[in-house]
C-alpha cells in the first residue's frame, strides 16, 4: 500500500497526449446503444489469481471531460509489481468505452493480445514477469460513461447544469465501482499506492480533485488541465468534479502539532454567507474527530469538500457535498459530518471485503450521536440513538462471514442494507457501555491506525475486517467478547431479553438467533434502586420484586435489544405508509 510521492507537474505533452484530433475517436452511434454489463455494474467480486499476484503501485490518469458530448477521453498508465510470476495482467474497465490502444512498457500490443468481453480486461504480457519485477500498462479509451440513475446510490456520471447555465459534473461510483470511468482492480483491497490525476476541462470551469494540487496548464485552445496527486486512495474514492466553482481556503492547527489545509469549492451562484457558514464548521468537526479517534489521516494533503449536484460521497480529501446548506436543531450539517467521518472509517481504515462494510458505515454513523453530544450534551445523544433505533430492519445479519459484493450488502432485500448504518451505530453504543470509554476509544483508534498512539507520520492507511476488530477489543479489554460480536453482528434478530416472575424473583434470560450464550450484563431498576445483573451464561435474576414493584429494565438504555413497543410502532408506521 505504499508508494513514493513525486511532486511533478505533468503536462499533456510529457504524457505523449494531445487531446483533440489525434485522440481516440468516439464511436458516437455505437456508444449511444452500448450499456454496461452486469459484471461492471457490480463491485467487490472475487479477484482473479493474476490480480492477487500483483501490487498496484501507481495509477496515472489523464482524462478529458467533454460536457457537450457527455463523454470522456482517457489515457491510464498503471504500474504494477509482480508478487508472484505473471503471464497476464487483469484489470476492470467498462465495455461502454472504445479502447484504441493497449501498451506494455511503451510497446503497443496487437488487438489479439487483449480481450475485454464483460469489462474484465485480460492482457497477455510479451514476457513473463518474475516476482519483484514491475510493468507499466497503458490503456487509451474513450466513450460515454454510464450515467447515474440516482446518485449517489445508483451511481455513475452526473451531467448537470449549474444555476448560471454552466456544466456541473460529478462522479459517484461507490455502489458500482471504479471501472465505470477508469481501468482499475475493482475490489476494496486493490488500492493503488498513488494516483496522479490530470483532468482536462473547458478553461472557464474548475476541477477540484483528490490529494495535493500540482497546478494547472492552460493549453490556449479553450482547454485547461488540472493536476493532482493522492497517496493510497480508496479506489472508489477517486472522483471527478467539474463546475463553475469559487474556492474558500484556510488552515486548521491540529492538536497533534501539524497544520491541515482546508478547502471548500462551492458554486459561484451559492449564497456566500451560507458557504462561509458551512466552511466555518470544518475546524469544529476536525477538532471532534481528532479528539475522539485520532489525527486527520491526510493532513499533508487537505481536508477538501466540493459542492455537487448529488447528495454526497466520501471521496478521499474531496468529499462531495449536496445537502443544500441545511441545518437542524442539532446545530450542524449532518452530511458534511458523515462524509468527513469516512476519512477515518473508509479511507484511512478500509474494509477487506464488502461484508465488513459496517466498519465504514456503522462506526461512521455512530460518530453523529457522539458529535451531537460533543456540541449539545447527553439529551441530544440519546435522542439521536432513539431515532436510529426506529430504523432497524433486522432481516439479515450485519455480517455474514462470507465474501460479498456491494449489492449483496447494500440492497435490503439481499443483505443488511441500512442496518450497516444504524444497527452498526447502536451496536457500538452497546459496546461502549459494556467495556467503558477508555477501552472503547482505544479499540477504535487501534482499528483505524493499527496502533494506540497515532501521530502524523507514524501510520499509513490500512485494511481490517470484523474478526480484526474483535481481536483488538479482546486484547484491549483482556476479555473474550466473541459472544458480543456473534450475538449482534452475525444474527439477523436482535437479542431478546425474556423475563418471568417467580415469587419475589424476576428471572431474566437472553435469547439470540443461534441459541448461543449471550452473557450481556443488564441493569434493572426496582422501585428506583438500580442493580447490575451479571447474566452469567445468559441467565440472571433479581430478588425482592413484590407484586406492586415498579420494574424498569435497562433504565439508561445501554443495551440494544428487541423491544415490543419499538416493534409495534415500526409495524404501525409501515401500515400508515402503505395507506
* Whether residue 296 sits in one domain with residue 193: no
Q: Is 568 annotated as a binding residue?
A: no
* Whether residue 312 sits in one domain with residue 219: no
Task: Quote the cell numbers at residue 18.
Answer: 494531445
Buried b (16+ CB within 10 A) or exposed e, 467-488: ebbbebbeebbeeebebbbbbb
The answer to whether position 165 is within a domain reads no
Write down the pLDDT at residue 18.
Answer: 38
Q: Is 429 annotated as a binding residue?
A: no
Q: Which listed residue (321, 421, 441, 488) is catalytic?
A: 421
At 70, which CATH number? 2.60.40.1730
The answer to whether position 2 is within a domain reads no
Measuring CA to CA, which residue among 483, 534, 481, 540 is closest to residue 509? 540
Beta strands in 130-254 (DSSP E): 134-143, 156-161, 167-172, 194-202, 212-218, 223-231, 241-242, 245-253
Alpha carbons within 13 A on the beta-carbon side of 337: 26
* Whether residue 205 sits in one domain with residue 269: no
Pick the last residue of a domain from 217, 239, 261.
239
CA 211 to CA 192: how far, in whole Å? Answer: 13
pLDDT along the chain (579 residues), means of 10: 30 35 40 78 94 98 98 98 98 98 98 96 97 98 97 95 98 95 96 98 98 98 98 96 98 98 98 98 98 98 98 97 93 97 98 96 98 98 97 97 93 95 98 98 98 98 98 98 98 98 96 96 97 97 95 98 96 90
* Whether residue 206 sits in one domain with residue 269: no
* Whether residue 533 sits in one domain with residue 438: no
The question of whether 556 is a catalytic residue gets the answer no
The question of whether 421 is a catalytic residue gets the answer yes
The answer to whether position 478 is within a domain reads yes
Are 41 and 91 in contact by the 8 Å Cβ rule? The answer is: no
- What is the residue range of 55's domain? 28-145+179-239
Write down the pLDDT at residue 28.
Answer: 42
* Whether residue 92 sits in one domain with residue 40: yes
Q: Is 342 annotated as a binding residue?
A: yes
* Whether residue 510 sits in one domain with residue 467: no
Please state the pTM of the whole predicted model. 0.92
Amino acid at each position: 500500500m505504499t508508494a513514493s510521492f513525486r511532486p511533478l507537474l505533468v503536462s499533456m505533452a510529457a504524457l505523449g497526449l494531445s487531446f483533440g484530433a489525434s485522440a481516440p475517436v468516439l464511436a458516437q452511434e455505437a456508444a449511444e446503444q452500448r450499456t454496461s454489463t452486469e459484471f461492471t455494474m457490480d463491485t467487490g467480486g472475487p479477484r482473479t489469481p493474476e490480480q492477487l499476484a500483483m501490487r498496484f503501485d501507481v495509477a496515472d490518469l489523464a482524462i478529458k471531460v467533454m460536457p457537450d458530448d457527455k463523454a470522456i477521453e482517457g489515457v491510464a498508465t498503471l504500474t504494477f509489481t509482480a508478487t508472484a510470476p505473471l503471464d497476464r495482467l487483469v484489470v476492470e474497465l467498462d465495455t461502454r468505452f472504445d479502447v484504441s490502444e493497449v501498451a506494455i512498457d511503451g510497446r503497443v500490443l496487437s488487438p489479439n493480445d487483449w480481450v475485454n468481453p464483460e469489462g474484465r480486461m485480460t492482457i497477455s504480457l510479451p514476457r513473463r514477469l518474475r516476482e519483484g519485477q514491475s510493468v507499466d500498462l497503458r490503456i487509451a479509451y474513450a466513450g460515454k460513461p454510464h450515467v447515474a440513475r440516482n446518485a449517489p446510490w445508483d451511481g455513475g456520471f452526473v451531467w448537470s447544469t449549474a444555476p448560471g447555465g454552466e456544466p456541473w459534473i460529478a462522479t459517484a461510483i461507490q455502489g458500482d465501482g471504479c471501472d465505470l470511468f477508469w481501468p482499475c482492480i475493482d475490489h476494496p483491497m486493490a488500492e493503488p499506492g498513488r494516483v496522479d490525476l490530470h483532468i482536462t476541462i473547458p478553461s472557464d470551469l474548475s476541477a477540484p480533485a483528490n490529494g495535493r494540487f500540482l497546478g494547472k496548464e492552460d493549453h490556449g485552445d479553450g482547454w485547461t488541465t488540472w493536476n493532482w496527486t493522492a497517496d493510497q486512495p480508496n479506489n472508489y474514492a477517486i472522483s471527478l468534479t467539474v463546475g463553475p466553482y469559487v474556492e474558500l481556503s484556510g488552515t486548521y492547527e491540529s492538536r497533534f502539532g501539524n497544520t491541515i489545509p482546508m478547502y471548500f469549492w462551492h458554486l459561484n451562484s451559492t449564497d456566500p454567507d451560507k458557504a462561509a457558514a458551512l466552511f466555518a464548521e470544518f475546524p469544529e468537526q476536525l477538532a471532534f474527530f481528532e479528539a475522539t479517534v485520532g489525527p486527520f489521516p491526510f493532513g499533508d494533503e487537505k481536508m477538501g469538500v466540493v459542492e455537487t449536484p448529488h447528495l454526497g460521497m466520501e471521496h478521499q480529501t474531496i468529499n462531495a457535498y449536496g445537502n443544500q446548506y441545511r441545518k437542524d436543531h442539532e446545530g450542524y450539517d449532518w452530511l458534511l459530518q458523515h462524509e468527513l467521518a469516512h476519512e477515518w472509517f473508509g479511507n484511512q481504515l478500509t474494509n477487506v471485503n464488502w461484508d465488513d462494510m459496517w466498519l465504514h458505515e456503522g462506526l461512521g454513523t455512530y460518530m453523529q450521536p457522539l458529535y451531537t453530544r460533543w456540541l449539545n450534551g447527553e439529551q441530544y445523544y440519546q435522542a439521536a440513538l432513539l431515532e436510529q433505533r426506529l430504523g432497524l430492519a433486522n432481516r439479515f445479519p450485519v455480517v455474514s462471514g462470507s465474501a460479498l459484493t456491494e449489492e449483496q450488502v447494500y440492497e435490503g432485500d439481499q443483505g443488511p442494507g441500512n442496518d450497516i448504518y444504524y444497527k452498526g451505530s447502536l451496536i457500538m453504543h452497546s459496546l461502549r457501555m459494556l467495556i467503558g470509554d477508555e477501552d472503547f476509544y482505544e479499540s477504535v483508534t487501534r482499528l483505524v491506525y493499527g496502533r494506540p498512539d497515532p501521530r502524523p507520520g507514524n501510520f499509513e492507511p490500512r485494511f481490517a475486517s470484523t474478526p480484526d476488530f474483535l481481536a483488538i477489543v479482546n486484547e484491549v479489554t483482556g476479555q473474550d467478547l466473541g459472544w458480543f460480536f456473534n450475538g449482534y453482528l452475525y444474527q439477523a434478530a436482535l437479542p431478546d431479553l425474556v423475563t418471568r416472575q417467580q415469587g419475589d424473583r424476576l428471572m431474566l434470560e437472553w435469547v439470540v438467533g443461534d441459541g448461543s450464550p449471550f452473557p450481556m450484563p443488564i441493569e434493572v431498576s426496582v422501585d428506583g434502586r438500580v442493580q447490575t445483573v451479571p447474566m452469567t451464561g445468559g441467565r440472571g435474576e433479581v430478588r425482592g420484586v413484590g407484586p406492586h414493584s415498579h420494574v424498569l429494565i435497562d433504565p439508561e438504555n445501554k443495551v440494544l435489544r428487541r423491544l415490543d413497543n419499538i416493534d409495534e410502532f415500526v409495524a404501525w408506521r409501515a401500515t400508515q405508509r402503505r395507506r
